[in-house]
A = this chain, B = another copy of it.
Amino acid sequence: MKSVPSHEPAKPTLSEVSERAGVGRSSAARVLGGYGSVSARTRERVLAAAAELGYETNELARSMNTGVTRTIGVILADLSNPFFAGVLRGIADATRRAGYGTIVISSDEDEGLEADAVRLLTAKQVDGIIVAPAGGRDASASALRSAAERGIPVVQIDRTLRGLDADAVVLDNRDAAREATDYLLAAGHRRIALAWGPALPAGADADLAALTSAALTSEITSTGERFLGYVDAFADAGVPLRPELVMTGAQNIAGVEEFLARTLTDGDVTAIIATEQDSVIAALSAARDHGRRIPQDLSLVAFDDSPWAEVHDPPITTVRQPLHALGERAAGRLLSRLEGGGDRVIVSHLASEFIDRRSVRRLR
């Protein structure tokens, strides 16, 4: 192994190029920056000098003048979650095509981390921000809000804060959940567990009114929307909904397992709608632990499709979300804002795709 050289060749600057080309700095700047007009002869000499020196524009310096960094910031809950990873890929592909850089940060659904992230991004002068706002019923997102007020375009993704006057790109979660629920209802299921539902304030009764109000808090969450779609389907079918089959506990694997341990035994549940990957994993695990075979003893519809769902035994019926398109759409929206496109706040919805496989049993 060789050791690293202790001092490296300095990067050539515009001045050095102009000097070598024997022209003024402005002329060199014009050809290298691609603006203004120059004679063919000047252009040639500058280009030659730049090539010899291996000149590369210092975007930092350019940004200082133009006030534009061609860099956007992205704040997502968890970059390692397949959902957000898919979304990020879509965002990054779109920004790269446009020649933008993308700075990413995980917020872990924590408002404090989100605020730190916003400050880091604005300090770095990003041109705009794409964010999946951290939730919580008192989500203030003050850092986000103040960034937006200072004129930094913000586009929300996957969820939206009601008070935040910014574009949003979301999935049609309500429709998707309604479709999944309709499907189970049509197959004859009545005792359909929803894992998971809206988070309830501590001590609140888990009745329909409380759940609905929780779903309609300060932010529009995918969880809340899915609950609403579930309610829609029951209402449309004229089937009474059982609030105790809506999970209100801890939104994680342990929470789902605890919820299912109870409802599988007492609630006599025949079907589960699992709305997140963690919930699906917990449902599969609980079914096994309680000796329920899928689909003979228990039906399952899972949100967030995965290649594993198709090769599972049995193949799992899922709601496939267009993650890449979601990211691309959000980036597209932000980019057009940056390019000065429109000033109306737009919320755009993307439809999910219902993939019927074999984890649902028809009861009639």
Q: What is the interface of chain A, defined by CB distance below 8 A to chain B?
A: 1-9, 11, 54, 56-61, 63-64, 69, 71, 78-82, 85-86, 88-89, 92-93, 96, 99, 101-106, 117, 119-125, 146, 149-151, 165, 277-278, 281, 284-285, 288, 306-313, 323-324, 343-345
Contact = CB atoms under 8 A, between A and B. Distances in A.
A121 B101 CA distance: 8
Given A4-B165, A93-B106, A103-B104, 18 more contacts: A4-B343, A56-B123, A58-B125, A59-B123, A60-B60, A61-B64, A80-B324, A96-B106, A96-B120, A101-B105, A104-B104, A277-B307, A278-B307, A281-B308, A284-B311, A285-B311, A306-B308, A312-B312
Copies in the complex: 2
A9 B102 contact: no
A11 B147 CA distance: 10
- Return the 8 tightest CB-CB contacts between A and B, nearest first: A8-B151, A85-B85, A308-B308, A80-B89, A284-B311, A4-B343, A59-B123, A79-B89
A352 B88 CA distance: 27
B344 A124 contact: no
A96 to B, nearest CB: 6
A4 B345 contact: yes
13 contacts: A1-B165, A2-B165, A4-B345, A11-B150, A57-B123, A59-B124, A79-B88, A101-B120, A102-B103, A103-B103, A103-B104, A281-B311, A308-B312
Contact of A311 (B82, B288, B345): B288
Contacts of A4: 165, 343-345
A340 to B, nearest CB: 11
Given A59-B123, A69-B60, A149-B8, A102 B104 contact: yes
Contacts of A6: 343
A2 B104 CA distance: 29
B345 A3 contact: yes
- Listed residue (A165, A310, A311) with the most chain B CB atoms within 10 angstroms of its CB: A311
Contact of A80 (B85, B103, B125, B146): B85
Contacts of A345: 1-4
Nearest to A116: B96
A330 B59 CA distance: 26
A78 B82 CA distance: 12
Contacts of A59: 123-125
A298 B309 CA distance: 20
Contacts of A281: 307-308, 310-311
Contacts of A102: 103-105
A164 to B, nearest CB: 11
